């Protein structure tokens, strides 16, 4: 008796091969048979007639480092077909953690990834100090998906160097040896790699850049040598220039990654985005990456599935009206959500807010925002044209852009959202994203699940890849279904050495999605207050996932949590 059979589906197996009609059987957590299984019986059968059957998505860029210690579901990532996630990115994490550094580590994560510090302080149980002890704590937990993690430079540096490390002072030879030993022990215990950040945009809550931002090559290469000696692990980083700040130049930044990868024989993956301050920089970095590969390096630019966009609403971290005095007066009254929306409907309040005359600098800033701020809508539109901007809608309706924004944010009982794409949105198009994905070394990532809780909600990128790029974009600009599936299953799994998942083949883990592509849709993000200590976060659901299966167990049935928790800690490559 087989545990599970998915019948009559259109199988997209993750290898990039053409889709085909096939049944899939899962026994004891692994795929046991594929083909015409009409005579076989199973404890559970899912009819996938007219639906896609794919591997579960493997999301390699999340920040559930704290949340994974108290939350079994790991939403919103879990709601979008992800069955394996990798955290510990961008040089921030919670191990190793000296007892007197716990609060500081929380502040670091809060500053870099916009995760409420109060939620982290209440939610994390701190039953560890070393990184192996952190893995042991995770190993005692169960989730809807498998969880792997990397050891973060910020935590390592602060643990070894104390305040010197936290303040980015240079590391001595002794410091480097101590950090290398900690990273080596972490990889032996099961860390999937090491991460660091070199972008000035990543700062702790006190404004200090992430420890390691200015690390010299002897420190980076010394730590990286631990991965090389063990022959396993990925070196992940947010590079200089990742947020558009002044940089030393793409050739020099990729050059040290090339030399590091060659020296240690391990993959190096770095965040690659398009920024308005240097609109063609990403192409230079892509070209430099290809040259590095030709010279023996294993370099993987990590790209996002859509623009990184800020969400502006009445309950988000950022609001278009933040600078308006009358708006702040209403916010400071301590009103409930319903009372707040009612107050904003008051004609006198509306007039006071919209009648404010800002100074010249603020007025210029607002005027520039009108062309770059869009109605998000339902379903959300992540590639809006000029007609959906505040400026475009104002011109069409004869209103002021601020009136358009005010009414849009008051929609749906005050939960309406505006969308401000800030990265990967050159000249009002996602064409840079499409070009990045077509690059032979591009790795799909940067969804940032668990992070940026109050202003960005991009964990839905795996779903967006199918709706936008495979199904909805203009014919001729769409991307092949089989290729998109492979990019976020087999390819991401192989980058992190996870050879037991990512494809639907006999012997692989029974991690699967059954998807109604015609009905697949993203719902608008919503602000909810369900984190510890009443912390708020943005969540986004999807429709069209008939079933998500982890190791043969259905974790989500038509989007609803079944209560199954087959997810385990991943210890090391396999």
Cα of 61 vs its chain's centroid, Å: 5
Q: For residue 298, give the nearest of 223, 233, 216, 218 by alpha carbon.
A: 233
Neighbours of 293 (CB within 10 A): 16
Q: For residue 488, give the nearest of 85, 150, 145 by alpha carbon.
A: 85
Q: Identify the DSSP state of 22.
A: E
Q: For residue 508, give the nearest of 457, 478, 552, 573 by alpha carbon.
A: 552
Report whether 441 contacts 396 (CB < 8 A): no
Match 């210690």 to its residue by tokens: 69
How far apart CA 332 and CA 323 sit, in angstroms, is 13
- Give the 3-state secondary structure of residue 32: strand
482-485 own/partner pairs: CB under 8 Å, 24+ apart: 482/12, 482/16, 482/17, 482/18, 482/19, 483/16, 485/12, 485/14, 485/54, 485/55
The CA-based angle 219-221-222, given to 5 degrees, is 60
- pLDDT averaged over 10-residue windows placed end to end, the chain, 574 residues: 97 98 98 95 97 98 98 98 98 97 97 96 97 98 98 98 96 98 98 95 90 96 98 95 53 91 98 88 92 97 96 96 97 94 97 96 94 96 96 97 98 96 90 93 97 97 98 92 98 98 98 98 97 97 98 98 98 96
Strand positions, DSSP E, 410-483: 418-423, 443-444
Q: For residue 62, give the nearest of 156, 191, 142, 148 by alpha carbon.
A: 148
How far apart CA 358 and CA 270 sit, in angstroms, is 40
Q: For residue 463, give the nearest of 407, 545, 404 by alpha carbon.
A: 545
Write down the architecture of domain 58-238+444-495 according to CATH: Alpha-Beta Barrel (3.20)
Report whether 112 contacts 202 (CB < 8 A): yes
Render the burial of 116-132: b for 16+ CB within 10 Å, e for the rest. bbebbbebbeeebbbbb
The CA-based angle 227-233-239, given to 5 degrees, is 90
Burial class, 31, CB count within 10 angstroms (exposed 0-12 / middle 13-18 / buried 19+): buried
β-pairing, 521-522 vs 308-312, is unpaired
How far apart CA 47 and CA 373 sit, in angstroms, is 43
How far apart CA 468 and CA 423 sit, in angstroms, is 18
Report whether 307 contacts 424 (CB < 8 A): yes
Q: Which residues pair with 152 in a beta bridge?
A: 195
Q: What is the DSSP string of 225-293?
A: HHHHHHT--EEEEE-TTTTS---S-HHHHHHHHHHHHHHHT--EEEE---BTTBTTHHHHHHHHHHHHH
Q: For residue 313, give the nearest of 423, 450, 414, 421 by alpha carbon.
A: 414
How far apart CA 268 and CA 93 sit, in angstroms, is 19
Burial class, 99, CB count within 10 angstroms (exposed 0-12 / middle 13-18 / buried 19+): exposed
Who's near 137: CB < 8 A, 6+ residues apart?
69, 125, 127, 128
pLDDT at 250: 62
Q: Give backbone dihedrals phi and psi of 62, rounded to 5 degrees, phi first.
A: -135, 175
pLDDT at 401: 98
Report whether 33 contacts 25 (CB < 8 A): yes
pLDDT at 242: 52
What six digits make up the tokens of 106?
């929380």
Domain spans of the chain, in order of start: 58-238+444-495, 314-423
How far apart CA 145 and CA 77 sit, in angstroms, is 10
CA contacts within 13 A on the Cβ side of 252: 6
β-pairing, 299-303 vs 268-271, is parallel
Q: Which helix (H) or strand (E) is 408 found in, with range? A: helix 401-414
Q: Identify the DSSP state of 373.
A: -
Q: Which residues pair with 177 in a beta bridge?
A: none
Q: From the DSSP assignment, how many helices (H) and strands (E) are in the chain?
A: 19, 25
How far apart CA 330 and CA 349 sit, in angstroms, is 8
Q: What is the DSSP string of 527-565?
A: EE--SGGG--EEE--EE-EEEEEETTEEEEETTEE----
Q: Which helix (H) or strand (E) is 440 found in, with range? A: none
Q: For residue 512, give the nearest of 75, 39, 32 by alpha carbon.
A: 32
């Amino acid at each position: 008796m087989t545990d599970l059979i998915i019948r009559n589906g259109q199988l997209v197996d993750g290898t990039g091969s053409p889709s085909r009609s096939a049944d899939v059987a899962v026994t004891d957590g692994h795929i046991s048979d594929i083909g015409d299984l009409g005579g076989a019986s199973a404890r559970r059968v899912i009819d996938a007639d007219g639906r896609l059957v794919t591997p579960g998505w493997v999301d390699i860029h999340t920040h559930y480092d704290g949340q994974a210690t108290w939350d079994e579901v790991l939403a919103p990532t879990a709601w979008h077909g992800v069955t394996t996630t990798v955290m510990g990115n961008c040089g921030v994490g919670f191990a190793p953690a000296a007892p007197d550094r716990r609060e500081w580590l929380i502040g670091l994560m809060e500053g870099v990834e916009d995760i409420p510090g109060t939620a982290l302080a209440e939610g994390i149980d701190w039953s560890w100090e070393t990184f192996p002890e952190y893995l042991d704590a995770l190993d005692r937990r169960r989730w809807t998906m498998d969880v792997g993690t990397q050891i973060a430079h910020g935590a390592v540096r602060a643990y070894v160097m104390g305040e010197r490390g936290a303040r980015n002072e240079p590391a001595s030879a002794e410091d480097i040896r101590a950090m290398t030993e900690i990273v080596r022990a972490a990889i032996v215990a099961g860390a999937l790699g090491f991460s660091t950040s070199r972008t000035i945009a990543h700062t702790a809550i006190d404004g200090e850049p992430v420890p390691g931002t200015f690390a010299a090559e002897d420190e980076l290469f010394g730590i990286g040598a631990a991965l090389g000696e063990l022959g396993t692990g990925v070196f992940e980083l947010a590079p200089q220039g990742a947020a558009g700040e002044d940089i030393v130049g793409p050739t020099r930044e990729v050059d040290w990654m090339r030399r590091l990868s060659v020296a240690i024989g391990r993959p190096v993956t770095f965040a690659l985005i398009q920024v308005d301050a240097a609109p063609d920089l990403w192409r230079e970095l892509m070209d430099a990456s290809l040259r590095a590969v030709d010279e023996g390096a294993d370099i993987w630019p990590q790209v996002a599935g859509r623009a990184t966009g800020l969400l502006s609403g009445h309950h988000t971290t950022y609001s278009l009206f933040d600078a308006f005095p009358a708006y702040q007066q209403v916010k400071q009254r301590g009103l409930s959500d319903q009372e707040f929306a009612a107050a904003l409907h008051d004609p006198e309040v509306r007039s006071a807010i919209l009648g404010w005359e800002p100074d010249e600098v603020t007025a210029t800033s607002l005027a520039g925002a009108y062309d770059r701020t869009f109605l998000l809508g339902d379903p959300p539109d992540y590639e809006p044209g000029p007609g959906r901007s505040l400026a475009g809608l104002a011109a069409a309706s004869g209103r002021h852009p601020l009136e358009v924004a005010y009414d849009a944010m008051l929609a749906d009982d005050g939960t309406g959202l505006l969308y401000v794409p800030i990265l990967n949105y050159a000249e009002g198009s996602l064409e840079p994203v499409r070009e990045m994905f077509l690059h032979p070394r591009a790795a799909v990532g940067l969804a940032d699940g668990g992070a940026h809780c109050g202003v960005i909600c991009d964990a839905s990128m795996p779903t967006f890849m199918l709706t936008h790029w495979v199904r909805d974009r203009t014919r001729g600009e769409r991307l092949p279904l089989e290729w998109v599936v492979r990019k976020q299953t087999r390819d991401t799994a192989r980058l992190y050495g996870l050879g037991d998942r990512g494809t639907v083949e006999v012997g692989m883990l029974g991690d699967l999605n059954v998807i109604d592509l015609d009905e697949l849709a993203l719902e608008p993000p919503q602000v909810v207050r369900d984190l510890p200590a009443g912390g708020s976060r943005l969540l986004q659901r999807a429709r069209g996932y008939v079933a998500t299966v982890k190791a043969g167990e259905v974790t989500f049935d038509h989007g609803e949590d079944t209560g199954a928790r087959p997810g385990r800690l991943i210890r090391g490559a396999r």
